Amino acid sequence: MQKSILILGACGQIGTELTLALRKTHGNDHVIASDIREGSESLMESGPFEILDATDYDALEEVVAYYEIEAVYLMAAMLSATAEKFPERAWNLNMTSLFNVLNLGKERKIQKIFWPSSIAVFGTNTPKTNTPQNTIMEPSTVYGISKLSGERWCSYYHHKFGVDVRSIRYPGLISWKTMPGGGTTDYAVEIYHKALSEKKYSCFLQPDTKLPMMFMDDAIRATLMIMDAEADTLKVRSSYNLAAMSFSPSQIAESIQKEIPDFTVTYEPDFRQTIADSWPSSIDDSEAHQDWGWKSEFDLERTTTEMLKHLTP
């Protein structure tokens, strides 16, 4: 009998598209979506869905047993900007859900785990340009602290208990299918919506704040690639650096203005500027290239073309 896949946090920005991609590959009935709330129509109608709190171990264990789950993708998390407003809630969600899944792996109730980390693990003392895989990591946000802690626990459970957990450090993600959920790089999605609806946008970061970014199609492809890779080829069991492109708000504005010449942007930095200033401007992901063949496909111009095409009414 074919084993099933469980997505925790399936209604989020990444989870929605990841669920649909996995269903296309593995069959709708074998990919179980779950979240604490219902998701989009396409998500709900395409396959099984469970209301599930990822911090509830007993409920999670029951779903895993009922559907004969083999692999879990833990996408449930409170992101950077929102987590700064609710630090204890963020820590509880981000860490308890991870321990629940790692312990299911330790008990051999699931065989494979995907858990996403983030460029938020880096800090102000990290080299900002071409940030290496192994470097100084002193995160200054609750989200970053939880992700760095999670990386160390993933590595520990792999080496101590043989848990097959795999991870990548996502940069900022750009998607037209689902709105982002409270991250510092959310401007790079909002700006396309505002360009089409209002022809103007007020950005919460300074115009020259360059950050690593990625179009969602690349992020989903990377996630599927690392989960399909042979276990013995994966040398990094904390989390792999992942990169595609780096740009600033002014650069993304210029790319949009090539398509919408009368689009204007003003800049009113808020508390998210401090978070962005602590993150790298570009990432060295050569180990992902070497170990499991990663290579990005989308640059800024192609991303802008795709976003405007799909968001235009």
Task: State the catalytic residues.
Answer: 143
Cα Rg of the chain (Å, integer): 19
Segment 42-86, tens digit of pLDDT: 999 999 999 999 999 999 999 999 999 999 999 999 988 899 999
Cβ pair 170, 214 in contact under 8 A = yes
**Left, alpha or beta for 27 (phi > 0: left; psi -120 to 50: alpha)?**
left
The three state secondary structure string of 185-232 is: CCHHHHHHHHHHHCCEEEECCCCCCCEEEEEHHHHHHHHHHHHHCCHH
**Does residue 77 sit in helix, strand or coil?**
coil
Segment 248-304, tens digit of pLDDT: 999 999 999 999 999 999 999 999 999 999 999 999 999 999 999 999 999 999 999
**DSSP character at residue 28:** G
**Domain ranges, ordered by start, for the chain:** 4-171+217-226, 172-213+243-311
What does the block give as tokens for 200?
A: 């103007």
Q: Which CATH number fits domain 4-171+217-226: 3.90.79.10, 3.30.70.20, 3.40.50.720, 1.10.287.110?
A: 3.40.50.720
Q: What value, to the nearest 5°, has the Cα angle with vertex 38 and ends 36 and 39?
A: 115
Fold for 172-213+243-311, please state it: UDP-galactose 4-epimerase; domain 1 (3.90.25)
